[in-house]
Amino acid sequence: MKPLLSTISNELESLLRERGNLHRYSSGEQIFSEGEEALFLPIVIAGKVKMVHFHATGKEVIIGIFGEGEMFAVPPVFDGKSYPSTAIAMEETSLLRIERSEFLKLIRESSELAFAVIEWMSAMLREKTSTIQNLSTASPEHRIGTVLLKLAEADSSMLPVRISLRREDIGRIAGLTTETTIRVVRRLAEKRLLRIEHGKIFIDDPAPLRRYVGH
């Protein structure tokens, strides 16, 4: 999904920054919790945010990860309902928070923003559909490969791409245990689809991984 701030005009970016407020969060700090009224639209200026859902058992399921320039939690802010999951800063993070009333005004004033929101929702719907299909039919290798490809493509401005997420978090996104994720990552490294160096995952070129998962 293309980051909002890298695709809009300078004029619209300036308008968003003018109407919003900058907030900083430390690593692990909660931004909002599931069930809270959606009062603002968050846009990541720097850092990384994960949206998670907690099962009754306490298990954490990662719904999405958002980095620099990306907006998230768009649907509940648009329709005025509650946030469907909890947002947590994964590292030192700065967010531009636009109050819901200002967000709705901007959509009415700016066709550019309105189309950006429609494009975001369409891309998110396609992504969620693909994720459901992946979780229901794909092998563990395909599921982990798809997650790693998405992470690599979101941060492919410079190669190689270092995957900053822990094996545990990668497994949560793919719906697999940490132990299975560790084994799968090793198998993908043996196939030269990624590289492990000092315990860190590097992807030198996303193309072989893209072919492997069929994207």
Q: Which amino acid is at 74?
A: V
* Helix, strand and coil percent figures for the chain, each rounded to 5: 45, 25, 30
Q: Which amino acid is at 135?
A: L
Average pLDDT over residues 143-164: 83
Mean pLDDT of the residues in the chain: 89
pLDDT over 70 (residue 195): yes
Give 118-137 pLDDT, tens digit per residue. 999 998 888 777 766 666 66
E-strand ranges in the chain read: 21-25, 30-32, 40-46, 49-54, 60-66, 86-89, 93-99, 161-163, 195-197, 200-203
CATH number of 4-133: 2.60.120.10
- State how far the alpha carbon of 120 is from the alpha carbons of 13, 30, 58, 124, 125, in Å: 16, 24, 30, 6, 9
**pLDDT-above-90 percentage for the chain:** 60
pLDDT band at 53 (very low <50, low <70, confident <90, very high): confident
Residue 153's pLDDT is 79
Domain boundaries, the chain: 4-133, 138-213
Q: How many residues does the chain have?
A: 215
Residue 190's pLDDT is 94
Average pLDDT over residues 18-27: 96
As a whole number of angstroms, the distance between CA 197 and CA 58 comes to: 32
Q: Give the CATH architecture of domain 138-213.
A: Orthogonal Bundle (1.10)
pLDDT over 90 (residue 42): yes
Write the CB contacts of 21 (distance below 8 Å, at least 6 apart in sequence). Answer: 96, 97, 98, 99
Residue 54's pLDDT is 80
Average pLDDT over residues 139-165: 84
As a whole number of angstroms, the distance between CA 43 and CA 23 comes to: 10
Q: What angle do CA 205, 169, 133 make, to 5 degrees?
A: 75
State the DSSP code for 85: S
Write the CB contacts of 188 (distance below 8 Å, at least 6 apart in sequence). Answer: 141, 144, 145, 148, 194, 209
As a whole number of angstroms, the distance between CA 106 and CA 117 comes to: 11
| Angle subtended by helix axes 140-153 and 167-174, to nearest 10 | 110
CA pseudo-torsion sign 83, 84, 86, 91: negative
Residue 105's pLDDT is 96
Average pLDDT over residues 149-176: 83
As a whole number of angstroms, the distance between CA 44 and CA 3 comes to: 9
